[in-house]
Homo-oligomer: A and B are copies of this chain.
Amino acid sequence: MERQRRIPEATVARLPVYLRTLLDVQTDGVTTISSERLAELAGVNAAKVRKDLSYLGSFGTRGVGYDVDHLLVQMSRELGLTRDWPVAIVGVGNLGAALANYGGFGDRGFPVAALIDADPTKVGTTLGGHTIRHLDDLPAVVNELGIAIGIIATPAAGAQEVADRLVAAGVTSILNFAPAVVTVPEQATLRKVDLALELQVLSFYGQRDSIGSSLREELGVSAESTNSGA
């Protein structure tokens, strides 16, 4: 009788938030936490916390709450954080260099293990203890260092090619910073961080608020009457 092992995507995306929150309270010496409290700290709804945690099959204690240490163990295991995931950064420019210099990843089990670039003048130079290797060496680098995750920090034009090469080299997890649509085969996972998109979304809601305010001023307080039609 197998446990229900399909964790919803939305839940997966929240687990890291819970994890960080739990690490925080653990540091403060807290040993037990209720869904209510965890929800407050993680900025979500308590029912959601309980449902999310139930997917882990982890048991809280009714009347008491969850054991922080136990929860951390379960969660780390589920997220695959019991091992290291060596990362390769492809494209060592402005952003790539900043990421390479950032210590926060190694701490959390994602050591930067390799830097890759296509620019011959950069290849061979050293940054943060790593010698920059050429893109053509990717298969060798991945093999030698056991690269599990590739970070794309090249200009948009090169992103798809880099992704293809990463996948060809056996890397199935990719984080893309380039503002381009990149596709990968089904067996691989791609996530993206798109700052321009974030800013444009902020712009949308910012503008809307302004308009909203103006309208509200003009029309009185009837702005609430947005009936949810059908």
Interface residues of A (CB under 8 A from B): 4-6, 12-13, 15-17, 19-21, 41-43, 78-81, 85, 87, 94-95, 97-99, 101-102, 104-105, 108-110, 148-149, 172-175, 179-181, 183, 187, 189, 191, 193-209, 226, 228-229
Contact = CB atoms under 8 A, between A and B. Distances in A.
A206 B172 contact: yes
Contacts of A199: 85, 87, 105, 108, 110, 149, 175
Contacts of A21: 181
Contacts of A198: 175, 191, 193
A13 B87 contact: no
Given A85-B206, A229-B4, A13 B181 contact: no
B42 A181 contact: yes
Contacts of A229: 4
20 contacts: A6-B228, A13-B197, A15-B200, A16-B194, A17-B197, A43-B183, A80-B203, A80-B206, A85-B206, A87-B199, A94-B102, A95-B102, A105-B196, A148-B206, A174-B202, A175-B198, A189-B202, A191-B198, A191-B202, A193-B195
Contacts of A204: 12, 15, 78-80
A202 B109 CA distance: 12
Nearest to A194: B16
A180 B187 CA distance: 31
A172 B211 CA distance: 13
A11 B195 CA distance: 17
Nearest to A6: B226
Contact of A80 (B13, B16, B207): B207
Contacts of A179: 20, 104
A179 B194 CA distance: 17
Contacts of A78: 204
A58 to B, nearest CB: 15
B95 A203 contact: no
Contacts of A79: 200, 203-204, 207
Nearest to A229: B4
Contacts of A101: 94
Contacts of A197: 13, 16-17
